[in-house]
Amino acid sequence: MDKIKDIFNMVVDSPNMVNSKLPWNSWNSCIEESENSIAGWIGKIFSVGAFLFLLGILYSTLSPLWNGGFDGMDAMGIIGMLIGMLLWTYAAFPISKIVSNVGDNLGTSKSGIIHLIFLDLPISIIKVAGYVLAMVGLFGAIGATLSFVTTLNIGGGLGNMTAGLVEMASMGTSALFGMLSDSPAYAIADAMDAVLNPDLSMLGNGGDAWTIAGAMGVFAAFIGVLFTLINLYINIVIYKFFFGLVSTLVNWIKGPYLPFKSL
Protein backbone atom coordinates (compact mmCIF):
# COMPACT_ATOMS: atom_id res chain seq x y z
CA MET A 1 0.00 0.00 0.00
CA ASP A 2 2.83 2.39 0.89
CA LYS A 3 4.56 1.58 -2.38
CA ILE A 4 1.42 2.45 -4.33
CA LYS A 5 1.16 5.68 -2.37
CA ASP A 6 4.79 6.56 -3.18
CA ILE A 7 4.24 5.85 -6.87
CA PHE A 8 1.11 7.99 -6.84
CA ASN A 9 2.93 10.90 -5.16
CA MET A 10 5.82 10.58 -7.60
CA VAL A 11 3.48 10.69 -10.60
CA VAL A 12 1.51 13.61 -9.23
CA ASP A 13 4.68 15.53 -8.34
CA SER A 14 6.47 14.76 -11.63
CA PRO A 15 5.54 18.13 -13.25
CA ASN A 16 7.24 19.96 -10.38
CA MET A 17 10.32 17.77 -10.68
CA VAL A 18 10.58 18.36 -14.43
CA ASN A 19 9.89 22.08 -13.99
CA SER A 20 12.74 22.41 -11.48
CA LYS A 21 15.21 20.86 -13.92
CA LEU A 22 14.33 22.99 -16.95
CA PRO A 23 17.20 25.32 -17.94
CA TRP A 24 16.76 29.10 -17.55
CA ASN A 25 13.44 28.52 -15.85
CA SER A 26 12.53 31.57 -13.76
CA TRP A 27 9.09 32.06 -15.25
CA ASN A 28 7.18 31.10 -12.12
CA SER A 29 8.96 33.61 -9.90
CA CYS A 30 8.66 36.25 -12.61
CA ILE A 31 4.87 35.93 -12.67
CA GLU A 32 4.31 35.31 -8.96
CA GLU A 33 6.41 38.30 -7.93
CA SER A 34 4.93 40.54 -10.60
CA GLU A 35 3.07 42.72 -8.10
CA ASN A 36 6.38 44.01 -6.77
CA SER A 37 7.65 44.71 -10.29
CA ILE A 38 4.79 46.81 -11.69
CA ALA A 39 6.62 50.10 -11.17
CA GLY A 40 9.71 48.71 -12.89
CA TRP A 41 7.63 47.42 -15.81
CA ILE A 42 5.96 50.80 -16.28
CA GLY A 43 9.38 52.43 -16.15
CA LYS A 44 10.57 50.08 -18.89
CA ILE A 45 7.54 51.00 -21.00
CA PHE A 46 8.56 54.66 -20.67
CA SER A 47 12.12 53.74 -21.71
CA VAL A 48 10.89 51.89 -24.80
CA GLY A 49 8.57 54.80 -25.55
CA ALA A 50 11.51 57.21 -25.29
CA PHE A 51 13.47 55.18 -27.84
CA LEU A 52 10.51 55.00 -30.23
CA PHE A 53 9.89 58.73 -29.74
CA LEU A 54 13.53 59.40 -30.65
CA LEU A 55 13.23 57.34 -33.82
CA GLY A 56 9.99 59.14 -34.71
CA ILE A 57 11.58 62.58 -34.26
CA LEU A 58 14.62 61.61 -36.33
CA TYR A 59 12.45 60.16 -39.09
CA SER A 60 10.20 63.23 -39.16
CA THR A 61 13.18 65.58 -39.14
CA LEU A 62 15.26 63.83 -41.80
CA SER A 63 12.39 62.79 -44.08
CA PRO A 64 12.88 65.78 -46.45
CA LEU A 65 16.10 64.07 -47.56
CA TRP A 66 14.17 61.29 -49.29
CA ASN A 67 10.67 62.63 -49.87
CA GLY A 68 11.53 65.62 -52.04
CA GLY A 69 11.39 68.22 -49.31
CA PHE A 70 13.97 70.39 -51.08
CA ASP A 71 12.18 70.47 -54.45
CA GLY A 72 11.70 73.97 -55.79
CA MET A 73 13.84 75.64 -53.13
CA ASP A 74 16.52 78.19 -53.86
CA ALA A 75 19.96 78.06 -52.23
CA MET A 76 18.92 80.13 -49.20
CA GLY A 77 15.88 77.93 -48.64
CA ILE A 78 17.98 74.78 -48.77
CA ILE A 79 20.46 76.23 -46.28
CA GLY A 80 17.63 77.17 -43.91
CA MET A 81 16.11 73.70 -44.20
CA LEU A 82 19.46 72.02 -43.52
CA ILE A 83 20.08 74.18 -40.44
CA GLY A 84 16.57 73.34 -39.22
CA MET A 85 17.23 69.64 -39.73
CA LEU A 86 20.48 69.87 -37.75
CA LEU A 87 18.69 71.79 -34.97
CA TRP A 88 15.86 69.27 -34.59
CA THR A 89 18.16 66.27 -34.96
CA TYR A 90 20.12 67.67 -32.02
CA ALA A 91 16.87 68.38 -30.14
CA ALA A 92 15.63 64.81 -30.61
CA PHE A 93 18.05 63.43 -28.03
CA PRO A 94 17.34 65.74 -25.05
CA ILE A 95 13.61 65.58 -25.82
CA SER A 96 13.56 61.77 -25.76
CA LYS A 97 15.79 61.77 -22.67
CA ILE A 98 13.02 63.56 -20.80
CA VAL A 99 10.73 60.56 -21.29
CA SER A 100 13.47 58.16 -20.26
CA ASN A 101 14.34 60.12 -17.10
CA VAL A 102 10.73 60.29 -15.93
CA GLY A 103 10.36 56.56 -16.60
CA ASP A 104 13.50 55.80 -14.56
CA ASN A 105 12.13 57.79 -11.62
CA LEU A 106 8.76 56.06 -11.89
CA GLY A 107 10.44 52.65 -12.09
CA THR A 108 12.03 53.16 -8.66
CA SER A 109 8.73 54.06 -6.99
CA LYS A 110 8.03 52.19 -3.75
CA SER A 111 4.36 53.22 -3.61
CA GLY A 112 1.53 50.75 -3.32
CA ILE A 113 -0.61 49.84 -6.30
CA ILE A 114 -3.26 52.49 -5.62
CA HIS A 115 -0.76 55.34 -5.22
CA LEU A 116 1.28 54.08 -8.16
CA ILE A 117 -1.63 53.93 -10.60
CA PHE A 118 -3.62 56.95 -9.43
CA LEU A 119 -0.83 59.29 -8.26
CA ASP A 120 2.68 58.43 -9.43
CA LEU A 121 1.70 57.42 -12.98
CA PRO A 122 -0.55 60.44 -13.74
CA ILE A 123 2.04 62.82 -12.26
CA SER A 124 4.69 61.19 -14.46
CA ILE A 125 2.46 61.58 -17.53
CA ILE A 126 1.85 65.26 -16.69
CA LYS A 127 5.61 65.78 -16.29
CA VAL A 128 6.49 64.04 -19.55
CA ALA A 129 3.91 66.01 -21.51
CA GLY A 130 4.81 69.33 -19.93
CA TYR A 131 8.58 68.91 -20.17
CA VAL A 132 8.41 67.71 -23.78
CA LEU A 133 6.19 70.66 -24.74
CA ALA A 134 8.56 73.05 -22.98
CA MET A 135 11.61 71.53 -24.68
CA VAL A 136 9.92 71.60 -28.09
CA GLY A 137 8.93 75.21 -27.45
CA LEU A 138 12.49 76.08 -26.43
CA PHE A 139 14.01 74.65 -29.61
CA GLY A 140 11.24 76.30 -31.60
CA ALA A 141 12.22 79.61 -29.99
CA ILE A 142 15.88 78.95 -30.83
CA GLY A 143 14.86 78.28 -34.43
CA ALA A 144 12.87 81.54 -34.45
CA THR A 145 15.94 83.37 -33.12
CA LEU A 146 18.13 81.91 -35.84
CA SER A 147 15.56 82.93 -38.46
CA PHE A 148 15.47 86.45 -37.03
CA VAL A 149 19.27 86.81 -36.96
CA THR A 150 20.17 85.12 -40.26
CA THR A 151 17.05 86.08 -42.28
CA LEU A 152 16.86 82.40 -43.28
CA ASN A 153 13.67 80.39 -43.00
CA ILE A 154 14.78 77.79 -40.45
CA GLY A 155 12.57 74.81 -41.24
CA GLY A 156 11.86 71.64 -39.34
CA GLY A 157 9.81 70.75 -36.29
CA LEU A 158 7.89 67.84 -34.86
CA GLY A 159 4.69 68.32 -36.84
CA ASN A 160 1.84 66.34 -35.26
CA MET A 161 4.08 64.31 -32.94
CA THR A 162 3.15 66.51 -29.96
CA ALA A 163 -0.61 66.28 -30.63
CA GLY A 164 -2.45 65.46 -27.43
CA LEU A 165 0.38 66.49 -25.11
CA VAL A 166 -1.39 69.71 -24.11
CA GLU A 167 -4.37 67.73 -22.81
CA MET A 168 -2.08 65.30 -21.00
CA ALA A 169 -0.13 68.12 -19.35
CA SER A 170 -3.34 69.84 -18.21
CA MET A 171 -5.10 66.96 -16.43
CA GLY A 172 -5.07 68.77 -13.10
CA THR A 173 -6.49 72.07 -14.31
CA SER A 174 -8.98 70.26 -16.56
CA ALA A 175 -10.42 68.52 -13.52
CA LEU A 176 -10.52 71.79 -11.58
CA PHE A 177 -12.09 73.81 -14.38
CA GLY A 178 -14.58 71.03 -15.05
CA MET A 179 -15.70 71.15 -11.44
CA LEU A 180 -15.87 74.96 -11.35
CA SER A 181 -17.77 75.16 -14.64
CA ASP A 182 -20.82 73.62 -12.94
CA SER A 183 -20.70 76.11 -10.08
CA PRO A 184 -21.29 79.86 -9.74
CA ALA A 185 -17.52 80.28 -10.13
CA TYR A 186 -17.60 79.33 -13.83
CA ALA A 187 -16.40 82.84 -14.79
CA ILE A 188 -13.30 82.36 -12.64
CA ALA A 189 -12.70 79.00 -14.30
CA ASP A 190 -12.88 80.55 -17.78
CA ALA A 191 -10.47 83.32 -16.80
CA MET A 192 -8.00 80.88 -15.26
CA ASP A 193 -8.22 78.64 -18.32
CA ALA A 194 -7.43 81.58 -20.62
CA VAL A 195 -4.41 82.59 -18.52
CA LEU A 196 -2.94 79.12 -18.01
CA ASN A 197 -3.66 77.77 -21.50
CA PRO A 198 -3.03 80.60 -23.97
CA ASP A 199 -2.91 79.97 -27.71
CA LEU A 200 0.82 79.65 -28.34
CA SER A 201 0.55 78.34 -31.90
CA MET A 202 1.69 81.60 -33.50
CA LEU A 203 4.56 82.36 -31.12
CA GLY A 204 7.82 82.92 -32.94
CA ASN A 205 6.06 83.96 -36.16
CA GLY A 206 5.39 87.58 -35.30
CA GLY A 207 7.25 89.26 -38.17
CA ASP A 208 10.22 89.42 -40.49
CA ALA A 209 13.88 89.31 -39.52
CA TRP A 210 15.37 92.48 -38.05
CA THR A 211 11.98 94.08 -37.45
CA ILE A 212 10.25 95.06 -34.23
CA ALA A 213 7.47 92.59 -34.96
CA GLY A 214 10.00 89.84 -35.56
CA ALA A 215 11.82 90.61 -32.31
CA MET A 216 8.51 90.53 -30.42
CA GLY A 217 7.70 87.20 -32.02
CA VAL A 218 11.01 85.72 -30.84
CA PHE A 219 10.46 87.15 -27.35
CA ALA A 220 6.94 85.70 -27.28
CA ALA A 221 8.31 82.28 -28.27
CA PHE A 222 10.50 82.20 -25.16
CA ILE A 223 7.61 83.49 -23.03
CA GLY A 224 5.59 80.55 -24.34
CA VAL A 225 8.14 78.16 -22.83
CA LEU A 226 7.74 79.91 -19.48
CA PHE A 227 3.94 79.63 -19.69
CA THR A 228 4.26 75.92 -20.47
CA LEU A 229 6.39 75.29 -17.38
CA ILE A 230 4.11 77.37 -15.15
CA ASN A 231 1.11 75.41 -16.40
CA LEU A 232 2.98 72.15 -15.75
CA TYR A 233 3.83 72.93 -12.12
CA ILE A 234 0.33 74.25 -11.38
CA ASN A 235 -1.19 71.07 -12.83
CA ILE A 236 1.05 68.88 -10.66
CA VAL A 237 0.02 70.77 -7.51
CA ILE A 238 -3.68 70.69 -8.42
CA TYR A 239 -3.62 66.97 -9.27
CA LYS A 240 -1.91 66.16 -5.97
CA PHE A 241 -4.51 68.27 -4.18
CA PHE A 242 -7.39 66.37 -5.84
CA PHE A 243 -5.77 63.03 -5.07
CA GLY A 244 -5.34 64.01 -1.42
CA LEU A 245 -8.95 65.18 -1.31
CA VAL A 246 -10.23 61.90 -2.73
CA SER A 247 -7.96 59.89 -0.41
CA THR A 248 -9.29 61.79 2.60
CA LEU A 249 -12.88 61.22 1.45
CA VAL A 250 -12.29 57.49 0.98
CA ASN A 251 -10.71 57.20 4.42
CA TRP A 252 -13.66 59.08 5.91
CA ILE A 253 -16.12 56.71 4.21
CA LYS A 254 -14.18 53.74 5.62
CA GLY A 255 -14.32 55.22 9.11
CA PRO A 256 -16.74 58.19 9.27
CA TYR A 257 -16.36 60.68 12.07
CA LEU A 258 -17.62 64.15 12.92
CA PRO A 259 -15.20 67.07 12.68
CA PHE A 260 -15.43 67.73 16.42
CA LYS A 261 -14.69 64.12 17.32
CA SER A 262 -11.26 65.05 18.64
CA LEU A 263 -12.63 67.85 20.86
Domain presence at residue 259: no
Domain presence at residue 28: no
Domain presence at residue 6: no
> Who wins on pLDDT, 88 or 1?
88
> Who wins on pLDDT, 22 or 156?
156
Number of folded domains in the chain?
Answer: 1
Q: What is the mean pLDDT of residues 234-240?
A: 92
Domain presence at residue 127: yes
The dihedral through the CA atoms of 182, 188, 191, 196 has a sign that is negative
pLDDT exceeds 50 at position 263: no
Opening angle at CA 210, ends 204 and 211, nearest 5? 75
Query: Which amino acid belongs to residue 150?
Result: T
Domain of residue 194: give its range.
38-254
Q: Which residue, among 130, 88, 133, 127, has the nearest Cα to 104 in the 3D structure?
A: 127
pLDDT exceeds 90 at position 211: no
Got the DSSP string for the chain? -HHHHHHHHHHHHHHHHHHHHSTT--HHHHHHTGGGGHHHHHHHHHHHHHHHHHHHHHHHHHGGGTTTTTTT--HHHHHHHHHHHHHHHHHHHHHHHHHHHHHHHHHT----HHHIIIIIHHHHHHHHHHHHHHHHHHHHHHHHHHHHHH--------GGGGTTHHHHHTHHHHHHHHHHTTSTTHHHHHHHHHHHS---TTTT-SS-TTSHHHHHHHHHHHHHHHHHHHHHHHHHHHHHHHHHHHHHHHHHHHS---TTTT-
pLDDT digits (tens, 9 = 90+) for 149-176: 999 988 777 777 777 888 888 888 777 7
Q: What is the mean pLDDT of the chain?
A: 82
Domain presence at residue 13: no
Domain presence at residue 139: yes
pLDDT digits (tens, 9 = 90+) for 114-156: 899 999 999 999 999 999 999 999 999 999 999 999 999 887 7
Domain presence at residue 22: no
Domain presence at residue 186: yes
pLDDT exceeds 90 at position 5: no
